[in-house]
């Protein structure tokens, strides 16, 4: 994925809410990555906003729908936006994803939706190497920095 280019007009625009999920346990901090069935890329839980829904509410809903997990808490200071374009059904789509950072209980099992092929809980260095898109790597780096600044 690439940053949005202003050299063209998109046929439509989308907004999604996403969440960088982490857990703390005896094996340290781990981040949840999902392998998407559509393309096989590794990323974070995310999805379209429903009518009247905030980006944060969408992120929480998508986390539960895609993984069966419920967030314990969102880190209030973390809110990052990513822009990119993609080709969808003959139209160029301009997309913005607003990402949040949330912790989950380390003992709650993941239950994947049909939208995903696999998942992994990975430490930061391995997660950075597993993510498919540079935008997601940057979001993860910011999340790791945010957690460090809060003493996690």
Chain segment 39-86, per-residue pLDDT in tens:
899 999 999 999 999 999 999 999 999 999 999 999 988 999 999 888
What pLDDT was estimated at residue 75? 94
What pLDDT was estimated at residue 88? 78
Q: Is residue 2 part of a domain?
A: no
Domain that holds residue 79: 12-149
Question: How far is residue 121's CA from residue 34's CA, in Å, rounded to a whole number?
Answer: 9
Count of domains for the chain: 1
For residues 91-106, average pLDDT: 94
Question: With 80 as the cut, is the pLDDT of residue 151 above it?
Answer: no
Question: How far is residue 61's CA from residue 111's CA, in Å, rounded to a whole number?
Answer: 14
CATH (domain of 51)? 3.90.79.10
Who's near 129: CB < 8 A, 6+ residues apart? none
Question: With 70 as the cut, is the pLDDT of residue 2 above it?
Answer: no
For residues 3-20, average pLDDT: 69
Q: Is residue 50 part of a domain?
A: yes
Structure tokens at 127: 């997660």
Q: Is residue 1 part of a domain?
A: no
Question: With 80 as the cut, is the pLDDT of residue 3 above it?
Answer: no
Q: Is residue 37 part of a domain?
A: yes
Q: Is residue 73 part of a domain?
A: yes
Prediction pTM value: 0.88
Give the percent of the chain with pLDDT over 70.
93
Residues in the chain: 152
What pLDDT was estimated at residue 10? 53
Q: Please report where in the chains the tokens 């600044």 appear, as a residue.
A: 149
Q: Is residue 80 part of a domain?
A: yes
């Amino acid at each position: 994925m690439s940053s949005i280019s202003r050299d063209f007009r998109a046929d439509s625009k989308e907004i999604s809410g996403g969440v960088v999920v982490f857990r703390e346990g005896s094996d340290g901090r781990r981040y949840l990555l999902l392998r998407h069935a559509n393309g096989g890329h590794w990323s974070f839980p995310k999805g379209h906003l429903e009518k009247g829904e905030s980006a944060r509410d969408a992120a929480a809903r998508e986390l539960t729908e895609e993984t069966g997990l419920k967030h314990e808490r969102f880190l209030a200071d973390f809110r990052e936006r990513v822009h990119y374009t993609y080709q969808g059904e003959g139209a160029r789509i301009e997309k913005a994803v607003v990402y949040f950072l949330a912790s989950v209980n380390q003992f709650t099992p993941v239950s994947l939706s049909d939208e995903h092929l696999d998942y992994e809980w990975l430490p930061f260095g391995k997660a950075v190497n597993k993510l498919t898109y540079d935008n997601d790597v940057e979001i993860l780096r910011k999340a790791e920095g945010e957690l460090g600044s809060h003493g996690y």
